[in-house]
Amino acid sequence: MNDFLYKYWGIIIKQTAVKVLDDRDQEIIKALRGLKVPKSAAALITYLANVSEATSREIEMGTNLRQPEVSLGMSMLNENKWVTEREVKIDRRGRPKKVYSLSIPIEQIIKHYEEEKGRESALTMEAIQRLKEMANN
């Protein structure tokens, strides 16, 4: 996130730049979805792989997900220990903001799915082989 402060008619205005997913990112999400990764988790993995860290609000804006979808996807990433979360106090008032980042490189996440789908494929092929053997008896 990049913050810019500037004055407009004597008023200090804060402008924030947030990473937005592009066409390449959408292709990554589509590929993850093809592996049966939930939409929100696929978007979060892709977004967080592109930034060093982000708040929940930045993730919402950058991925076009609603807050409940971000929470749902984040719980899946937390279960797999793929995301770290820390709190940052922005000012003296209000609650601290949570800042998220991937705890492992996206390549390791891809490897996880590669291994998972390999196991599933092996089980499927074993079942087919058993069916063939039973059909021939």
pLDDT at res. 12: 57
Average pLDDT over residues 43-48: 96
Q: In whole numbers, what is the pLDDT of the chain averaged over residues?
A: 87
Q: How confident is the model at residue 44 (pLDDT cuts 50, 70, 90)?
A: very high
21-25, 94-98, 107-111: least confidently modelled range: 94-98
The whole-angstrom separation of Cα 62 and Cα 20 is 4
Indicate whether this model's pTM tops 0.75: yes
* Model confidence band, residue 109 (pLDDT cutoffs 50, 70, 90): very high
CATH code, 2-104:
1.10.10.10
Average pLDDT of the residues in 28-36: 95
